[in-house]
Amino acid sequence: MRLERGNTCLENGSYLMNYLCCASCHQRDFVLISNKATEDDDGEEIVTYDHVCKNCDHVVARHEYTFSVVDEYQEYTMLCMLCGKAEDSISVLPDDPRQSAPLF
């Protein structure tokens, strides 16, 4: 099940609201970050890592975060079975043109 997180995109860390316990050892403890990798692919930054059970090293979920600049907007996405799915877009300009009221 993929949970919608609106515009909350985690580049680092874990969203643990729905984490009951490790499916392997059944312990509820911290989830560690392992195998973190960052790559820059044609102007898009992609960060991937595994959420790993602190007790038995079971991989709970694979996390992917992306960042890019498209036109005049910073685009963020997150996809993870533990943290959920989210995306956000923020203007690089002081005033976001999407938020301004029409003149007529």
Per-residue pLDDT reduced to its tens digit, 15-49:
788 789 999 999 999 899 999 999 998 889 999 99
Lowest mean pLDDT among 4-13, 19-28, 35-44, 56-65: 4-13
| Rounded distance between C-alpha atoms, residue 87 and residue 43, angstroms | 18
pLDDT band at 104 (very low <50, low <70, confident <90, very high): low
Provide the number of structural domains found in the chain.
1
> Is 76 among the domain residues?
yes
pTM comes to 0.79
The neighbour count for residue 68, using CB atoms within 10 Å, is 15
Residue pair 7/25 in contact (Cβ under 8 Å)? The answer is no
pLDDT at 5: 64
Domain that holds residue 36: 16-91
> Is 2 among the domain residues?
no
Q: Which residues pair with 75 in a beta bridge?
A: 68, 89
> The CATH number of the domain where 73 resides is what?
2.60.40.4240
